[in-house]
Structure 1
Amino acid sequence: MPKSLFLNSAPPLMRLFIASAMALTVSAHAMAVSSPQSTTPSASDVAGKTKASGDYGKTCNPNEAMIKSTRHGDENTDPVIVCSAYAPYGVAGTMSNYKTPEPEKGDDAYGNWSSAINEGNPSGHTYTCPEGTLMTGIKHKDDENGSTYYRCSAFSINGVVQKLRPGTVLKFPEDDHEKSCPAGQIMIGRSHLCDNDGKCDEKASSTYTCGYVRAL
């Protein structure tokens, strides 16, 4: 039976209950909408220079943030970063820079890049986007011990910057993973860890921290 006919034939109170349930279902699926424009990073994403071994970079499209990372191979294999629009509870949000842009670092109206962080730091490293921001890009220079940079953007709904709370933590071997934030969450941080033998190269573990906005 068509949904419209089913609704019309139901008592008024039942019609209200059915309509509310349908709206809730639509809202749940609208939290994070996959972007078809997110593809394998290209050489041009890496500071506009010719690609060298271990170099990669990805900047999300305006008003999109990172939601998935895939990599099957060593430092010569680029990870594939997937970005998505983010609409917690069905309410669309926008991304912008959170501090005065520094064009020489690649900042623009949609986000700010971090300073260089040593990927092969003997103690590993953890980077979390500042409060009220989410991750909208990542780039790396040189081999598995080179420098990693993170791009973060302020996340606003109806002009109000939202606080993103840490949620699911995805842990995986850096050189072999395919991980996505759960529905309703978006990436806000990354760690590259040292394994028990003290190695922090591409075979060591990494994590992504996913965040969420509390119910509006």
Structure 2
Amino acid sequence: MYKKALAGAIVAVALAPLAATPAAAAGGAAAAETVTVVKASTEFVLEGRNVQFTCPTNQVMTSRGHHGDENGLTRYACSRVLVNGQEVQVSMGGWDQGKKESASTFVAPENQVVVGRWHEGDENGTTRYRTAALYWQGKQMRIISPMWSQLYDENDHDWYAWAEGDNKVMTGRAHRGDENGATNYHYSTVVLGS
């Protein structure tokens, strides 16, 4: 009887850590990774002066605002994307061909995000975008669930991807007309690749 009780106690003690950590008991499966987008920098530029704005290294665009005409200030906010607190690598591409600002719609290629914007002149000038792919531990991250924001007056607005929900980043923009025209933003969710 004593031997059975002792054996039962040893088994119970040995199995207790496994019950507390089901992931470890399931063949060493890793815990779920957590993706977060954290605001990191803000910069103001005079848009009409042919400024090529690009987010700092390993940051992506998550906000834009503009007040006034082409001589007004444009605000860009960029964020870091983290997986389990570790920064993802942002692999930047080149600038797109550009379009006339007053009739422009841009959406980043599949699984890419916006990291830069370059505007020349007024509403008749050209606007270009720079995109990037995101990598964590050598695997490309996926950009999913694309949506368009509400319409904003270009000459007096501030848009924030994080106001649209968790892990949102800018993936495009559309504009019609001059500085009194409408602007809206294309945004998507960053997730781990499969």
Q: TM-score, normalised by structure 1?
A: 0.66
TM-align CA RMSD: 3.0
The structural deviation recorded for 1:167 is: 3.4
The structural deviation recorded for 1:177 is: 0.7
Determine helix, strand or coil for the equivalent of 2:149.
Answer: strand
Number of aligned positions between the proteins: 166
* 1:116 alignment partner, one of 56, 76, 98: 98
Question: Are residues 1:57 and 2:37 paired?
Answer: no
Distance 2:129 2:116 in 1: 6
Once the two structures are superposed, what CA deviation does each residue of 1:67-110 show, in whole Å capped at 9, x if it has no partner?
A: 011112111113111111112675532111xxxxxxxxxxxxx3
* 1:185 alignment partner, one of 168, 176, 184: 168
Structure 1, unmatched stretches of 5+, are 1-11, 17-22, 47-52, 97-109, 194-199
* 1:143 alignment partner, one of 122, 132, 141: 122
Determine helix, strand or coil for the equivalent of 1:55.
Answer: strand
1:41 is aligned to 45
2:5 is aligned to none
Tell me which stretches of 4 or more aligned residues in structure 1 moved more than 3 Å: 53-57, 88-92
Once the two structures are superposed, what CA deviation does each residue of 1:109-151 show, in whole Å capped at 9, x if it has no partner?
A: x33110121112xxx2211111121100001001121000100
The structural deviation recorded for 1:57 is: 3.4
Distance 2:181 2:145 in 1: 23
Determine helix, strand or coil for the equivalent of 1:145.
Answer: coil
* 1:70 alignment partner, one of 65, 68, 71: 65
CA gap of 1:88–1:126, structure 2 versus 1, over 3 A, is: farther
Q: TM-score, normalised by structure 2?
A: 0.73
1:9 is aligned to none
Distance 1:95 1:211 in 2: 16
**Structure whose residues are more often strand by fraction:** 2
Percent identical residues: 27
Distance 2:156 2:83 in 1: 30
1:106 is aligned to none
Once the two structures are superposed, what CA deviation does each residue of 1:135-189 show, in whole Å capped at 9, x if it has no partner?
A: 0000100112100010001111211122212434223111111110023111111
Which has the greater radius of gyration?
A: 2
Q: Which amino acid aligns with 2:71?
A: N
Distance 2:63 2:135 in 1: 21
